[in-house]
Amino acid sequence: MTDYWTNKLVFDLQGPHGKDQWTNHRAEVIARYPVPPKIEQALLNDDIGVLIPVINPYLMRFFLLMLGYDDAKSIEVLESFQTDEERKRVNG
Amino acid sequence: MAKLVGSFAASHAPNIARSWDTLQDDTRDWLTTRYDELGKRVKALEPDVLVIHSNDHWINFFLENMPAFLIGVGEEHDGPPEPFMQPIFNGCTFPGHAGLGSHLLEFAMDADFDPAYSHRIKIDHGIGIPLWRMGFETLPPVVPVFLNLMEEPFPTPKRCLAWGHMIRDAIEAYPEDLRVVVLGTGGLSHSIGETTMGWIDEPFDKACMDLFANAPDAKIASELSRMLKETGNGGAEVRSWSIAHGAAGGKGFEMIDYIPMPETLIGCGLAEWKFAA
């Protein structure tokens, strides 16, 4: 099960002012949610590797789009965290 | 009495709508001709109601409340709220069919399924994209059925097949003379927001098509359960195809077409189950 509050934060950013809130008021947004300090730091620093295990993948896709990543960039960023087993599975 | 006159499945990737104007010409042509064909086949059956199975995409539900199955029982439903769907549906509403929706709910409960229900639900891109591309001049009433494929645990493929059989029995027990088409949307393989994002698993897709064409329910259920552990997360949506398969009584599967489509991040497939109505 993914982390409730971290996902709640990302879920709520889907609203009409989400991108503006995240771009211009990130620390205040994060402060509204009781996320662990490690996650707070990862959110402040766009540390995707820390966030992958705790954010639902469909919300992660939205989160990356909101950060301004197109599909190619999202794939590149996520692929950099592939395990050997995942790489083998994808490449056959 | 109502009659199930057709069962279909089709993909519903967001990029079909989000990137429509910038897709490569051959991709857009492929999508146009194949969804036109799907629409032509559905319209030829002159449906009075469409019962459409799809998964929500964090539009209606969040972790506070995640129904495994939910039936839309309202007279009307809201259109897709996603920004990339706004130019297509522009805040319109969708006609529901409260009579059939309520009947499906009560029949399901009597058959020992326990779906949630909604008197007004948001129709997101999962249902909106196939309806858009099929090009109805007048959209028949829609009974939307959502299954949870966002956050595990998901309904098992076995349960989805059984749900499909139940839906057919329910439709054919409805006293009004209605021609009903079942549509399952989603799939085939894709990987979204995970480290394998962009992966289109063609062997998985081909194995699914082979199962629907040739295998009995028990084998479909066991093989899908095994295969879904090894493919991208979006492959979970093949459960909607399983429901269409179950509704068709497991007979008459025919692919309209399939292509791995990297621009939309999916193995894009459309299918009909042909059976004597």
- A and B: number of Cβ contacts within 8 A: 65
The whole-number average pLDDT for the span B59-87 is: 96
- Look-up: residue for tokens 């791995």? B260
Q: B80 with B123: CB under 8 angstroms?
A: yes
Alpha-carbon gap, residue B158 to A47, rounded angstroms: 39
Cβ pair B157, B236 in contact under 8 A: no
Whether B184 and B200 have beta carbons less than 8 Å apart is answered as no
Are the beta carbons of B192 and A61 separated by less than 8 Å?
yes
Quote the tokens at residue A32.
């509204």
Domain that holds residue A47: 4-85
pLDDT tens digits, one per residue of B155-194: 999 999 999 999 999 999 999 999 999 999 999 999 999 9
Cα of B101 vs its chain's centroid, Å:
16
Query: Where does residue B250 fall: left (phi above 0), alpha (psi -120 to 50 degrees), or beta otherwise?
Result: left
Q: How far is Cα B236 from Cα B149, in angstroms, rounded to an integer?
A: 6
Interhelix angle B217-227/B238-247, rounded to 10 degrees, is: 180
Residue numbers of the domain that contains B91: 3-273
Give chain A's contact residues with B (Cβ, < 8 Å): 1-2, 4, 7-8, 11, 14, 52, 55-62, 64, 71, 74-75, 78-79, 81-83, 86, 89-90
In chain B, which residues touch A (CB < 8 A)? 15, 57-58, 62-63, 150-152, 192-199, 230, 233, 265
Q: Are strands B3-10 and B179-185 parallel, antiparallel or unpaired?
A: parallel
Beta-sheet strand order (sheet of B253-261): B116-118, B69-72, B142-147, B49-55, B179-185, B3-10, B266-273, B253-261
Alpha-carbon distance B184 to B164, whole Å?
Answer: 10
Cβ contact A52–B195 (<8 Å): yes
Does A92 reside within a domain?
A: no
Q: Give the tens place of pLDDT for each residue, B123-136.
A: 999 999 999 999 99
Is the backbone of residue B112 left (phi > 0), alpha (psi -120 to 50) or beta? Answer: left
Give residue A90's pLDDT.
92
Residues B79-104: what's their mean pLDDT? 95
The alpha-helical segments, DSSP class H, found in B111-177 are 125-134, 157-172
Instruction: Give the CATH number, domain containing residue B48.
Output: 3.40.830.10
What domain count does chain A have?
1
Residue A90 in any domain: the answer is no
Put simply, whether the predicted model's pTM sits higher than 0.95 gets the answer yes
Q: How many CB atoms lie within 10 A of CB B114?
A: 10
A74 inside domain? yes
ipTM of the complex: 0.94
Sequence-ordered strand ranges (E) for B125-249: 142-147, 179-185
Question: How many domains are there within chain B?
Answer: 1
**Looking at the domain assignment, is residue A31 inside a domain?**
yes
Range B112-117 average pLDDT: 98
Query: What confidence category does residue B235 fall into, taking pLDDT thresholds of 50, 70 and 90?
Result: very high
